[in-house]
Chain A
Amino acid sequence: MNWRRASIAVLGAVPVIALFAWGLTRDPNEIVSPLPGRQAPTFALGVFASGEGTLARPVGDTIALDRMRGQVVVLNFWASWCLACLDEHAELSAAALRYAERPVQFVGVLYNDVAAAGTNWIARQGGQAYPSVLDPGARTAIDYGLYGVPETFVIDGAGRVVYKHIGPVSAALLRMKIDSLLAASAVAPAAPALDGPR
């Protein structure tokens, strides 16, 4: 038995084991994003699916983040080829209708898809309460560091990302986030002064 060689070999095995041990303490599905707490990347994108009722915006209209200051913006990235988007679709529309009378704007962003497939998909799901926009070249998706679809960003009245959700979102969760933002803005309505040096 050559113990010197044996101990060298053991030293080789230790880093591998240590890596796994450390890996076990992590959640592989948790993806950290630097965005929450920061200013949301701006965008100005064209509507391709109008939405319904009071929330509707004409097709071709431009939705720009800058023009929605003072409102809570719920930005949902989706695609017609995305299975998980089916799960959250009804929840999102329900949440949008619930806040129709409040300063809350829901926007769908079609990711890596064509407008026709998107409108088809919406028709198959029996409509979408709020407008959806096209994102040519996925520029906005890149700005937001999209990992996959669906992803949902909640942006406050000062244009800051306050919450990012990966995967299908639920109406209850959205309600929680939006209500707390609306409550905060009721105390200190739309305060752009908060945007100080960081």
Chain B
Amino acid sequence: MTRLVAVDALWFALIACAVGGIVAPIAIARGKRQWLPFAQAAVYANFALVTIATGAMMWALATHDFSISYVAQVGSRATPLFYTVISLWGALEGSILFWAWVLALYSAIVVYTNRNRPGNLVPYAASALLIIALFFHILLVGPANPFHLVSPVPLDGPGPNPLLQNHILMAVHPPLLYLGYVGMSVPFAFAVGALLSGEAGSDGWIRLTRRWTLLAWAFLAAAIIAGMWWSYEVLGWGGYWAWDPVENASFIPFLTATAFLHSVMVQERRGMLKLWNINLVVGTFALTILGTFLTRSGIISSVHAFTQGTIGYYFLAFIAVVLIGSAILIAGNSDSLRTDGRFDAPVARESVFLLNNLLLTVFMFTVLVGTLFPLVAEAARGVKVSVGEPFFNRMTLPVIVALLFLMGVGPALPWKRGSIEDLKVKMIPGTIVGVILAAIVLLLGTRNVYGVLAFAFAGFAGTLNIGEYVIGVRARRAAHGESVLTALRRLFGANQRRYGGYVAHLGIIVVAVGIAASSTFRTEREATLKPGETMTLGKVTARLKDVWGRNEPQRDVIGATVELLAASGEPYAVLSPRMNIYPMSDQPIPTPDVRSTPFGDTYMNLMSFREDGSSATIKIINEPLVPWIWFGGGVICLGALISGWPTRRSA
């Protein structure tokens, strides 16, 4: 029953998307504007139908309806209800269904909020969204159908992938990622709409697109940080980023979207970079689809990759349609994307944006090439090679340091024409802070060039960005005699986009400092302890209390109780690193325990144990400033929120 409802809903959604997707272009071409409401209705119908299908899947998961193939694949009676329901996005078919739902939701919001906008842009954009949805519906009724009938009905299932039911962040990271990834479809649809309706040269579509890009960008940033956190809390290696192809796949569109958020300001202010901006929008979307293709097709091996299947060919066809279609649209309309303004002086904010875009593009290509390198190398020379962390670190660290520098210089420069003298004066405090930070880091014993530079330029950029608030508040106090807090509040009110952007900058800087500190000052130690024995790493002294075991319905848990001792010998904290053993996996899933303080974490992992409980091997990692990364992620999102918050003025 559930199955039939869901499958029918998906088929009707497919029909709605196919019909709705072609109605608008035909209606506009034939001059039958009275047909346009059908396209709108199709968007709403698609949302309702996909919601039914997704709801049916969640119901089936919650009620353990093993007659449905996806439930039989990821469900199990022993798994807690919460992890059962979120396994909606735990495997390929369910994640495509969830994707389709997020896309349907976005499409409905886009059409609803722009229902009164005159012109053909929104109908065309709705068409583009429906066609993208059509592609996912084809997957859902074809190679990624989660609703196959299983017969005979199994009594129980294997449960979700153990790694995916081991931590609460599994409920956070994937939805954020989909909200970010799928969100990039909206700017793309607006770009297609602008090109088809001939509005690409005007600024209207840019204003529509900017806020949507900001929203998707913020979700993507949050998703990347949440993914790092998840990896840190679950995988037990004490790291958060490994340049794995799938991590890169989420990071690459983030870079192009970041570039767009900056260069779009140059277009709005100066009428320049129109062609470039539309390319960034289309490129970002194409890169999200490429990322999905890389993860879902098995074309590149990765720890995250889903199982291989025919789905890769569908994605390939879709990427081909997107790339060729956009190439024709953009190149064919490039005459209307001529630039209106020109660069006046090298020392001006637009030049910094230009450099920032250049660096972000280089960054993006470096990561993209590194990710695709195994494929390219095999095609060219027939050998399998892959470039690992050293390549990415060596290639991207200089770019990151340069970006941090620009992040400080950009806000300090005016539009059009700045003066070197003013800039020099503004840079003094930042330079002092940067030099002091570098000196401290050197004194602490680091000889890692990029570690030192990262601290120096983070300090530089942080000071200059804070300096912008100081300058703004001072000016308001002088002009209006306001108190500091009132002045700060009105500063945000008067130019929320600009000052929100600086908040996001500060978030990035905090993340950068967290990453720099934890990668340069990380220390670790591993020791085999008998109960009562202690080990020491830096200021941390840990004593193994006992090794214990416990049976839970869905897994067996082995854990160690470890006390952290103060200088007096009194325990001040207890950590319980564990190993979870799931029936469907041969390897135990490590479950590290972390004690966080604002200045860093004590990260503890149970490496191995004697079965009689007589000893356990414990690894302790000292991770300075790691919580800053998660905190910085929050600041980035706050900045995006301030920047993009709808106001009466802009509406």
Contacts and interface: CB of A to CB of B under 8 A. Distances in A.
Interface of A: 1-3, 5-6, 8-10, 12-14, 16-17, 19-24, 26-32, 83, 86-87, 124, 147
A183 B313 CA distance: 44
Most buried by B among A5, A28, A86: A28
B375 A23 contact: yes
Interface string B572-586: 000000000000001
A5 B384 contact: no
Contact of A13 (B323, B335, B372, B383): B323
A131 B48 CA distance: 65
Contacts of A29: 301
Contact of B299 (A16, A28, A31, A147): A28
Contacts of A31: 384
A12 B608 CA distance: 53
Contacts of B301: 28-29
Nearest to A11: B327
B333 A19 contact: no
A23 B333 contact: no
A58 to B, nearest CB: 27
A10 B327 contact: yes
Interface residues of B, number: 34
16 contacts: A2-B331, A2-B334, A6-B328, A6-B331, A8-B331, A9-B330, A10-B328, A10-B331, A13-B327, A14-B324, A17-B316, A17-B323, A23-B300, A27-B298, A28-B298, A28-B301
Contacts of B332: 1-3, 5-6
Chain B binding surface SS class: helix
A18 to B, nearest CB: 9
Contacts of A24: 297, 299, 312-313, 316
Interface of B: 293, 297-301, 312-313, 316, 319-320, 323-324, 327-335, 372, 374-376, 378-379, 382-384, 586-587, 608
A5 B297 contact: no
Contacts of B312: 24
A98 B299 CA distance: 39
A26 B372 CA distance: 14
B157 to A, nearest CB: 23
User: What DSSP secondary structure best describes chain A's contact surface?
Assistant: helix
Given A2-B331, A10-B324, A19 B379 contact: yes
A21 B316 contact: yes
A28 to B, nearest CB: 4
A9 B331 contact: yes
B334 A5 contact: yes
Which 7 A-B residue pairings sit nearest by Cβ, starting from the closest? A9-B331, A9-B327, A6-B332, A28-B301, A5-B331, A13-B323, A6-B328
Given A3-B332, A22-B379, 12 more contacts: A10-B327, A10-B328, A12-B327, A17-B323, A19-B375, A19-B379, A20-B293, A20-B316, A24-B316, A28-B374, A83-B587, A124-B608
Contacts of A5: 331-332, 334
Contacts of A17: 316, 319-320, 323-324
A28 B246 CA distance: 14
A194 B410 CA distance: 72
Nearest to A120: B528
Contacts of A16: 323
A2 B327 contact: no
A124 B614 CA distance: 13
Contacts of B319: 17, 20
A46 to B, nearest CB: 26
Nearest to B333: A1
A29 B374 CA distance: 11
A94 to B, nearest CB: 16
Nearest to A14: B324
Contacts of A21: 316
Nearest to B384: A31
Given A12-B327, A17-B316, A23 B299 contact: yes
A35 B125 CA distance: 56
A1 B378 CA distance: 38
Contacts of B379: 19, 22-23
A147 B375 CA distance: 17
B68 to A, nearest CB: 29
B388 to A, nearest CB: 11
Contacts of A3: 332
A12 B319 CA distance: 14
Contacts of B376: 19
A9 B608 CA distance: 57
B238 to A, nearest CB: 14
Contacts of A1: 332-333
B426 to A, nearest CB: 42
A2 B335 contact: yes
Contacts of B372: 19
